[in-house]
Structure formats: structure tokens, C-alpha cells
Structure 1
């Protein structure tokens, strides 16, 4: 028996549910649990299995073993897509995390209009990426606002989306703009949980603002930063919407990512077995990067 005291009320005893009651509760939960398992893990398992077949829509399916993965190793398009995806991730994740951390530190204090600023910063997260891609296609087009700004600064004023070197920075800009609000919200929640006494004690001991951030705030943020890093890395590896809308993988496949290659193989060429193998390779890459991040950011003392 367990005694619980509720404010303003008499103490009352709460008993543990019996096995029969727990079974009844599980019975009610079971339909939702079954749907979650079927529609969450079923497609993932089917995708792994299809990676070992030559499955195509409307055709015969046969078991080919590791043949699809051998094709990946020998496919220069695959390695080009890996390079583009890795470069995009290496640029997008740190910039997004820096923007998230900066905005969280900027809005952590209570001031007039703080909630309005937080809402504005979070707004891109709930904005359709397709709509954002259409708008930013116009922004980065030749003769668009960005091109005019570059011309005013005396820099090359062509379309960034038509330049094989500048197309990835343009996509990274859109990605950071659309994602930093989510990380800001996570870090802001963690910042507000840090006891104010810690910073006050450091300030009393003569610590500068940078020292207080480095030795007091940053260690407290480590679990939240690890979570944001995992989420941002996963999203960056799976970038597709903006690439599909803004560049179509071009120019000359300079923005041809792994997920776009998966889309091409599966839904343009209907080689779903090979597309599934690409998905498996992408999953393995994401897990490996997550483990590396776990050993660095997520390591506990």
C-alpha cells in the first residue's frame, strides 16, 4: 500500500492494480499498439528484406542476396550522392545547432515580447517545406533578391541554384532556416531548468560571461545538445523536400542526395530492390554517425 498526500485533502491510500486490471488495461491498449507496430516497424522490416531482392512493380521478384549492395559499391552515382549528403550534413548540422543555441540564449530571459520572438523563431518549423522551397527558389534565382544583394556588394550575382559550388550552401541556408526553431525550443527548455544559483555563484567568484557559459551553462546543456545533434543529423541525412522542389538534384547532380537517389531508383525507374538497398545503406550510415555522436557529445562522466 502506498500513501499519497494531496494538498488540501486528507491522505488517502492508493493500491496497486491487480493482475486482472492490468490485463484489462493492456487489452484496451493492444489495438493501438498493434497498429503502431505494424505501420511503424512493418515497412522498415519489409524495406530491409526487399534490399536483398530484385523487386520491381508489376514484375517477378527473386532473391538476389547481396547483389544490390555490390551494385552500390560499384556505382559512382551512389558515392557521389554519399559525398553530397555528407557535405550537406557537415555544413547544416553545426550551423543549425549554433543558430538554435544562439536564439535560445537570446530569448531565455523574460523580457517584454519574449514569447512573441520565440513564436516567430519557431514559425519556420511548422511552415511547409514545399512552400518554403518555392519561395527560396525565387529568392536565389538570377535577378532575385539574393542575386540583387550580391550585386550590390560587388559579388557574383548569378543564381546560386545553378552553380554547382554554391547550390549546397543555398540548400543549407534553407535547411537551417527551417530547423533551428526546433532545436531552440529544446535548448530553451533545458536552459530554464538550470538553477540560477549556479550562475550567481560563478558571477560572485568573478567569472566572466564566457567563463559562466563554458563552465556552468554548457555542461548543463550537454544532454540537450546531444539530442538536438541526433535529430539534426538524421534530418540532414534524409533531406529531400527542398532538393526536389528547388534543384531536382542539379545542376549536374551537385545536389543529388542519397534520398533523392532512392526516390529516382524506386519511383522513376521502379527498381525497388535497389532503392531498398540504398535505404539500408542510409540507415547504417545514420546509426554509425549517431554512435560517434554518442561517444563524444553523449558520453557521461
Structure 2
């Protein structure tokens, strides 16, 4: 007759299902793994705290010089603020007056037309220049420096030079007269002609920055992918459309947002070359803000124009981001 099984033997001979179904008791489980998970969580908390401490000075400076002025401007836009320092609460009165002001809508239309001319033109020229520089083997650094020089010049100097070029007796109209085209009123004609001339000056002045951004994006693309496309017989256009451009989408989105913001903030070129004319054809939003704030000394109303401009740029940036994300998903 066999002896009854001991507890150790019963445990060893018990079915696996019975062993796994037994309730867990504190102190009998795998303690080292639990301690390891707790230590990992503590380490993550310490790393997060250290990261916050590192970025806290930057966040403080950014908030002091960015968010705080925006909040102050938002508050000022709800008041009537004069040079004498007297502040009168207006509430939404400045915005109601703004949306009923025909000059505001005229400046908004002029700014929108300028952006439609400026942004596609500077992206095409900057991307074309980056593609050409990316193919250069010799003297690429020299050409990069030469093409970047206009970006380092001031808008005032560029405006003065191009005002002379676009003048009725300037070199451009002189060359057109030599071929029988006659003088063209670049800065005194209709709105699209004037805004086109202003956009051309801004593109000449600023395309060097976007070109270098595009060039950095092209240099970061893997050469193996382009080499495989050439081996498969893809043409230059096919490689650009199906490889280069999709890989360049993050850079393209960055340039698109930056140049859109630059386009809505155009002021110096307008101030130097046209002064908002002729007949307010080049009255942009920032020039309208300048007139209301520094000519008519209505700072609360001018601040309301600035807040509307901030809202427009923010909404357009979000729309552009959603559009680029939708293109990536498709």
C-alpha cells in the first residue's frame, strides 16, 4: 500500500491548470520583476523632471517675449488706447468697427492677392535652385553663397534699387522700349501689376533661405533610392515626382508655412516702393495697421488688426498642415 502524497509531491504532480489557477499571495510572487518595474517608472519620472528643468528657461523666455505680448495685445485690442495713456474699455467694439471698415477688406484682399503671387513663385524658384545646386559637383559652395547674398540685404535697400529698376525711365522700361514694348507702369498700374512687382522683389530678396532649406532636405535623402530608380529606368521627372517630392514633403510643408507667414507680414517693400498706392492698390494688412496706429494714433484699433492677422495666419497654417497630412495618408 502506497504512502499518501506529501504537499511537495502533490504540487509537483498537480495538473498545470490547477497550479496556474491558484490565487497569488503577496510575498510569494516574483519580487525582483516588480521591483524592476517600479525602478523603471521612477527613472522615467526623474528623466521627465530633468527634461522639464532643462527646457524651463527656454519656455520662460519664450513665454515672456512671445505669449505675454500676445496676451497684452489681445487685451489692448478690446480698449481705446491713446497717446495720453488714457484707456477706455471698448469690448468687441474695435472688431465690430473693423469688420465694417471697407479699407480693412481692401487691405485683406490686397494681402491675399499678394500671397497668392508670392508664395507659389518663391517655392518654385527656391526648389528649382536647390535642385540645380544639388546636381553641381564643383563650385556648389560658391553658387550657394552668391544666391544667398540677396537674403542678407535689407528690404529698404532692395526696395530702393527695384524702385529705380521699375521706374518709367528705369533700365527695365528702357530695355522694353528698345524692343518696341513701350513703358509699363509697374508701380503705378493696376493692382495685380503692382502686387506682382512687389512679389517679385520679395522673391528676389528671400528665396535664398528657402533654397538652402530645400537643399538640406535633398541632401538628406538616401542615395540608394534614387540609384534604384535610375537602374529601373525612371526618367528625371518620374524620379522627382515619385521619389524626390514625396520625401521632401516635410520640408515643403515647413517652407510653405514660413513663406505664407512672410507673405502676410509684408510691409517694408510696400512702405519703400508704393506707400500703399496707387489708390490703395497695395494697401496690405500690416500697412493698414501702421496707418491706424502711427498715423491716426488709434492703437487699440491697430492692435485689433494685428490680432485678426494672427488668427488668419494660424488658421491657414492649420489648414496647410491638415492638407499635407491628407496627402501623406493618400
Check whether TM > 0.5: yes
CA 1:229 to 1:31, structure 2 compared with 1: closer, same or farther past 3 Å? closer
- Equivalent position to 1:78, from 104, 109, 119: 104
Q: CA deviation at 1:110?
A: 4.1
Residue of structure 2 equivalent to 1:235: 262
CA 1:298 to 1:99, structure 2 compared with 1: closer, same or farther past 3 Å? farther
Instruction: Provide the C-alpha distance between the structure 1 equivalents of 2:111 and 2:261, rounded to a whole number of angstroms.
Output: 11
Residue of structure 2 equivalent to 1:161: 187
Alignment of 1:50-129 (within 5 A): 50-129=76-155
Is residue 2:250 matched to residue 1:208?
Answer: no
1:91-141 CA distances to partner (integer Å, 9 max, x unpaired)?
100000000100000001342211111111111111111111111111111
Normalising by structure 2, what TM-score? 0.81
Instruction: Provide the C-alpha distance between the structure 1 equivalents of 2:81 and 2:130, rounded to a whole number of angstroms.
Output: 47
Instruction: Provide the C-alpha distance between the structure 1 equivalents of 2:56 and 2:254, rounded to a whole number of angstroms.
Output: 30
Is residue 2:212 matched to residue 1:180?
Answer: no
Unaligned runs of 5+ in 2: 1-42
- Equivalent position to 1:259, from 260, 278, 286: 286
SS class of match (1:162): coil
- List structure 1 segments (4+ residues) > 6 angstroms apart after TM superposition: 28-32
Residue of structure 1 equivalent to 2:324: 297
Do the aligned partners of 1:225 and 1:297 also contact (CA within 8 Å) in 2?
A: no
1:128-174 CA distances to partner (integer Å, 9 max, x unpaired)?
11111111111111100111122233324144112233211110100
Instruction: Provide the C-alpha distance between the structure 2 equivalents of 1:47 and 1:80, rounded to a whole number of angstroms.
Output: 23
Do the aligned partners of 1:84 and 1:256 also contact (CA within 8 Å) in 2?
A: yes
| Structure of larger gyration radius | 2
Residue of structure 2 equivalent to 1:279: 306
CA 1:34 to 1:294, structure 2 compared with 1: closer, same or farther past 3 Å? closer
Do the aligned partners of 1:226 and 1:298 also contact (CA within 8 Å) in 2?
A: no
1:160-212 CA distances to partner (integer Å, 9 max, x unpaired)?
11223321111010011111111111110010011111111111111111101
Instruction: Provide the C-alpha distance between the structure 2 equivalents of 1:153 and 1:224, rounded to a whole number of angstroms.
Output: 42
1:212-251 CA distances to partner (integer Å, 9 max, x unpaired)?
1000100000000000000000000000010001111011
Residue of structure 2 equivalent to 1:136: 162
SS class of match (2:79): coil
- Equivalent position to 1:152, from 163, 169, 178: 178
Instruction: Provide the C-alpha distance between the structure 1 equivalents of 2:318 and 2:222, rounded to a whole number of angstroms.
Output: 30
- Equivalent position to 1:220, from 247, 256, 265: 247
Instruction: Provide the C-alpha distance between the structure 1 equivalents of 2:324 and 2:180, rounded to a whole number of angstroms.
Output: 41
